[in-house]
């Protein structure tokens, strides 16, 4: 079963607002086995809205439209739906009453324009709105069920949960899992699981299809797994079997799944091991500390850090010897190791993790190019220094360096 | 002149990711007088992508497509564009070279699949990607200019700015300026410039309209000014006149405009004054240091910082007296002041800036609720401690505290 989601509004097409409704609706529909095949955004233009609705009803069994139900003249979704259905707008008496009661409740005078909101296409059904004035609309168009909901997310989501999900046709179940990997490229991962990603493996092929895809974001590669079945158990088993196969092939580069992040996985591992961490950051400038402290309760395992941006700070705050800086430069294996040691000693932590590098855009040389980063880790399992060359803009290099440092710590924790 | 924007990806239709590219592109196109009439999202399906591109090229002069240019088998945009154009994919020799050079630069082995990315439709032109491996594509289809860009926002935006804007057709001029304010609410600002925000002031009313609006994001209120004219000079003069009026009414809460951020403004002021900074962060956990070091060249004025998450770190790294911590607690005026002093002394900087507070969600009490934050500043103009109570989720409180600290420093630098 397929769906098309349409969002309405000049503010979306102008880029003033980002459409988050469509992603939300796609997730909710997917949970019920309904696959979204297209999102479309059109402006406050009755003709264009009518064309979009008619086209969507031609191609999918479920059409969800959000926005354009306000009381002002630029709210044209009601009129456009009526045009697409080839009927007139008629007053829905229950909605008129509810809108009047709403204004009485909030003690504000109703404008005549608010009653426009009680007009719905003949033959359609109003959907009660408990969060605002605009009722939604449920209608049939060709073979499709069409649901129209207000644009503000707080009204839309509440109405969808309470009033629309019960009216949706049912079509099996799709279960999704996302595995997250770090430390190699999307193309490398793609080749290692190419057969699983083959297009004929299709979750739409009920009762037991599956689909595997990849997405790269900020250095993290996510392997998206979707599996379908007649019931949750069946779909979940297929998804889990596929996830196991992906884990088997990719091994330790998989660091987590679904809501887990690299910092949250490292946090859990430190907590489970009862070990503490301190960091010493140069080019990442506080990014690692910030990532770790995003999670509440970080004080259990994170003692703190030094952002040693100036060389003098490396000496004063981390006890890096001035002659090491002199002989090898701030971006060197030796200084990285001394920073990690200094953090561990001065904070009294189990692990010391340090990063020193050249984030650019300037400051590089033939010998030490922009993107060169040393990461040192010292802890219960010994001491290591890793040399990396990252590419991209300054903040990409910084972020990649911070994540790579956390990943070295993750791998060290695994092998304790 | 009209545009259609198409985004590609199963992760968008599955609701796993929210499409922010289309809103960004709409804003950028609007600045050049190009009106976006439709956004559409389709999945990783060559047939559907080809239909969407062909339909868009029928209805608009400019079509921008993002996503589906990766190296894996589910990246089908290249193939779909070729199908829509009725041509074959051919290898772009320059792109092959650039991709090979990219892998050589980062010292990673290139996979054969990466060279798929150098295949573009015959007759089309590759757009260099300085941020990743996938080249973009510029093509003609019917009467439309079609631009295809990678999906990751950091690659897409950089390529659009550098390589696409110069190729766009031109249509009248709209000049936009954004003034940024910090330290009061959006409704307060709205009341002080209500007359400028009146709806009849419409930038679409060429040749001399203007529009003023506000947007709040992460505590920063931006006042968006758009002015139109037949030529840049005329539109710019009207925009600047409006900006001057907004500045006059809002005074020192305006901290910058356009690409300026609170950290970048503070950075410029420190640089201009020839003064240096060190920070001591507790609840912000490195956020201030990270914000400051986002800007290249920060080593000129930023010596470093301590993330003193544990009390022991406040004592060991910042010389905060244990009896102060004992008597007043870590979240107190006295400890904030001692942290700022400690940072200034230990790093040898002109300014010491500190933050200590309770970011939540737990750890609050009746006396010291979640959201309580002390910010201390010590420097050439003397020493101050500010007490704030912020509301919202953990990361909102952290971000608000970090920005407020930078804002105190900004105001102190103004009055030197």
Write down the ipTM of this complex: 0.70
Bridge partners for B7 per DSSP: B41, B66
CATH class of A173-257: alpha beta
3-state secondary structure (DSSP) of residue B108: coil
In A, which residues are within 8 Å of B215 by CB distance? 16
Closest Cα of chain A to B262: distance in Å? 17
How far is residue B386's CA from residue A132's CA, in Å, rounded to a whole number?
A: 40
Which of A307, A350, A373 would best serve as a mutation to test chain B binding (most B beta carbons within 10 A)? A307
**Minimum Cα–Cα distance from A306: chain B residue:** B306
A262-414 CATH: 3.90.950.20
Element (H, E) at B357: strand B351-357
Q: Count of CB contacts below 8 A, A vs B?
A: 296
Residue to substitute from A6, A12, A15, interface B, most B β-carbons within 10 A: A15
pLDDT for residue A206: 43
For position A164, what pLDDT does the model report? Answer: 94
3-state secondary structure of A208: coil
Chain B residues close to A13, C-beta within 8 Å: 26, 35-39
pLDDT tens per residue, range A156-215? 999 999 999 889 886 677 788 999 999 988 889 999 999 888 754 555 544 457 889 898
Is the confidence at residue A317, as pLDDT, over 90? yes
Query: Are B49 and B76 in contact, with CB atoms under 8 Å apart?
Result: yes
> Can you give the pLDDT at residue B200?
47
Nearest Cβ partner for B15 among A23, A197, A306: A23
Q: Which 3-state string (H, E, C) describes B110-148?
A: CCHHHHHHHEEECCCEEECCCCCCCCEEEEEECCEEEEE
Average pLDDT (A6-25) is 93
Looking at per-residue pLDDT, the higher value among B200 and B216 belongs to B216
Task: Identify the CATH homologous superfamily for domain A2-167.
Answer: MoaB/Mog-like domain (3.40.980.10)
Q: In this predicted structure, what is the pLDDT of residue A31? A: 78
Average pLDDT over residues B282-306: 94
- Chain centroid to Cα A133, Å, comes to 31
Q: Where are the domains of chain A?
A: 2-167, 173-257, 262-414
> What own/partner pairs with CB < 8 Å and gap ≥ 24 does A150-157 have?
A150/A66, A150/A67, A150/A69, A150/A70, A151/A7, A151/A8, A151/A9, A151/A21, A151/A66, A151/A67, A151/A68, A151/A69, A151/A70, A153/A20, A153/A21, A153/A24, A155/A129, A155/A131, A156/A21, A156/A24, A156/A66, A157/A24
Residue predicted with more confidence, A219 or A349: A349
Tell me which residue of A45, A58, A38 sits closest to A13, measured CA to CA: A45
Provide the H-helix boundaries in A107-198.
Answer: 153-159, 186-192
Contacts of B43 in chain A (CB under 8 A): 37-38
Tell me how close the Cα of B190 comes to any Cα of chain A, in angstroms: 17
- % of chain B beyond a pLDDT of 70: 97
pLDDT in tens, A66-124: 999 988 777 899 999 999 999 999 999 999 999 998 888 877 788 788 888 999 999 99
Q: What is the pLDDT of residue B172?
A: 66
Fold identical between A173-257 and A262-414? no
pLDDT above 80: residue A314: yes
Q: Compute the nearest-CA separation of B285 from chain A (Å).
A: 5
**pLDDT for res A377:** 98
Instruction: Tell me which chain B residues have a C-beta less than 8 angstroms from the C-beta of A299.
Output: 309-310
Most A CBs within 10 Å: which of B64, B282, B289, as the mutation test of the A interface?
B289
Instruction: Find, among B157, B168, B153, B126, the residue nearest to B29 by Cα.
Output: B168
CA A373 to chain centre: 28
Q: Which residues of A touch B41 (CB under 8 A)?
A: 22, 38-40
For A48-81, write each residue's pLDDT tens digit.
999 999 999 999 999 999 999 988 777 899 999 9
B285, A290 contact by CB (below 8 A): yes
Chain B hits for A15, CB-CB cut-off 8 Å, are 22-28, 30, 36
Given an 8 Å threshold on Cβ–Cβ distance, is B307 in contact with A299? no
Report how far residue A33's alpha carbon sits from residue B48's, in angstroms, rounded to the nearest whole number: 20
Q: Which residues from chain A sit within 8 angstroms of residue B17, using beta carbons?
A: 23, 215, 217
Q: Do A307 and B279 touch (CB under 8 A)?
A: yes
- Please give the pLDDT value at position B312: 93
Name the residue of chain B whose CA is nearest to A198's CA. Answer: B73
Beta bridge partners of A221: A181, A216
CB contact under 8 A, A290 and B285: yes
């Amino acid at each position: 079963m397929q769906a098309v989601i349409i969002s309405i509004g000049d503010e979306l097409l102008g880029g003033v607002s980002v459409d988050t409704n469509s992603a939300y609706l796609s997730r909710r529909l997917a949970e019920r086995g309904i696959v979204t095949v297209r999102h479309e955004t059109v402006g406050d233009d009755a003709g264009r809205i009518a064309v979009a609705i008619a086209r969507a009803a031609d191609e999918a069994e479920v059409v969800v439209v959000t926005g354009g139900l306000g009381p002002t003249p630029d709210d044209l979704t009601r009129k456009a739906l009526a045009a697409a259905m080839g009927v007139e707008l008629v007053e829905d008496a229950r909605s008129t009453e509810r809108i009047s009661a709403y204004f009485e409740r909030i003690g504000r005078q109703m404008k005549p324009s608010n009653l426009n909101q009680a007009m719905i296409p003949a033959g359609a059904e109003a959907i009660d709105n408990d969060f605002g004035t605009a009722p939604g609309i449920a209608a049939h168009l060709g073979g499709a069920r069409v649901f129209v909901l207000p644009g503000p997310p707080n009204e839309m989501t509440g109405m969808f949960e309470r009033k629309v999900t019960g009216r949706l046709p049912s079509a099996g179940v799709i279960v999704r899992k996302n595995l997250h990997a770090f430390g190699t490229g999307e193309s490398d991962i793609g080749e290692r699981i190419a057969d699983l990603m083959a297009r004929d493996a299709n979750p739409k092929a009920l009762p037991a299809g599956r689909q595997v895809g990849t997405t790269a974001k900020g250095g993290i590669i996510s392997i998206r797994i979707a599996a379908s079945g007649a019931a949750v158990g069946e779909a979940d088993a297929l998804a889990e079997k596929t996830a196991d196969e992906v884990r088997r092939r990719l091994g330790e580069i998989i660091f987590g799944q679904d809501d887990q992040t690299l910092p949250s996985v490292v946090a859990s591992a430190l907590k489970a091991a009862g070990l503490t961490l301190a960091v010493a950051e140069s080019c990442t400038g506080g990014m690692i500390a910030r990532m770790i402290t995003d999670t509440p309760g970080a004080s259990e395992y994170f003692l703190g850090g030094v952002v040693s941006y100036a060389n003098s700070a490396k000496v004063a705050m981390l006890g890096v010897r001035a002659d090491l800086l002199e002989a090898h430069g701030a971006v060197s294996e030796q200084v990285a190791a001394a920073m990690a040691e200094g953090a561990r000693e001065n904070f009294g932590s189990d692990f010391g993790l340090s990063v020193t590098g050249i984030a650019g855009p300037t400051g590089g040389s033939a010998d030490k190019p922009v993107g060169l980063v040393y990461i040192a880790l010292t802890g219960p399992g010994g001491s290591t220094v890793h040399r990396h060359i990252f590419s991209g803009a300054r903040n990409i290099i910084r972020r990649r360096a911070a994540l790579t440092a956390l990943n070295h710590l993750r791998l060290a924790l695994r092998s304790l």
